[in-house]
Amino acid sequence: MQIVSLISLWFIPVLIGIILIYGTIKKVPTYESFTEGGKEGIKIAVSIIPFLVGMLVAISVFRASGALEYVMGFIKPALEAVGIPAEIVPLAIIRPISGTAALGMTSDLIASYGPDSFIGRLASVLQGSTDTTFYVLTVYFGAVGIKKMGDALKVGLLADLVGIGAAIIVVTLLFA
């Protein structure tokens, strides 16, 4: 447990240090490279605004109407019997389908339950540890014209399930 929090604390500063030292040794114009790459960050942040607005409005409406609470009431007892918080289920379902939708849900969960709550941390780990299977599948296979996907979808979704399970177990062990 201690090691994991130590890694969390040291990882980013150490990585930044390595990059800067390595860049200087290799005579990269570090500051210019940094600002060049940073410009792309602005582009990305701005370009996801419409996606996030659409998804967050839909989720907010669903939540504010009371529909979310109603659905949760049904699935909660069964899930909690096996140690899965029901609040996380919508995120787990949407994660393989749409990256920006999942991002919206993650921020909604963090906003509603607090970033340092169990749900907030679980949402964070879940969002960070799996990728959008359907997106990757359509983009990569679509781009090169693969029509028969074979076992690809099955493998991808099962791997997502492993990731979700791992996220729940790790967060429960470390933070609960």
Partner 1 sequence: MVNIIWVLLTLIGIVFAMFNGTMSEVNEAVFNGAKEAVTLCIGLISILVFWLGMMRIAEDAGLLKKLANLFKPIVKRLFPEVPNDHPAMGYILSNMMANLFGLGNAATPLGIKAMEELKRLNGGKDYASRSMITFLAINTSSITLIPTTVIAIRMNYDSANPTDIVGPTLIATFCSALGAILIDRYFYYRRTRKG
- Which residues in the 13-32 window bind partner 1 by CB under 8 A? 15-16, 18-20, 22-23, 25-26, 28-30
Q: How far is the CB of 69 from partner 1 (least distance, A)?
A: 10
Alpha helices in 65-98 (DSSP H): 67-81, 89-94
Q: Is 114 in the site for partner 1 (CB under 8 A)?
A: yes
Alpha-carbon distance of 19 to 116, in angstroms, equals 30
Fill in the amino acid letter for 60. S
| Rounded-to-integer distance, Cα 45 and Cα 43, Å | 6
Regarding 85 and contact with partner 1 (CB under 8 A), the answer is no
- Asked if 162 interacts with partner 1 (CB under 8 A), we say yes
Residue 7 within binding range of partner 1, rule CB under 8 A: yes
- Binding test (CB under 8 A) with partner 1, winner from 14, 75, 78, 146: 146
Applying CB under 8 A, does 118 fall inside the site for partner 1?
Answer: no
Residues 130, 164 contacting (CB under 8 angstroms): yes
Per CB under 8 A, 64 contacts partner 1: yes
Residue 176 binds partner 1, judged by CB under 8 A? no
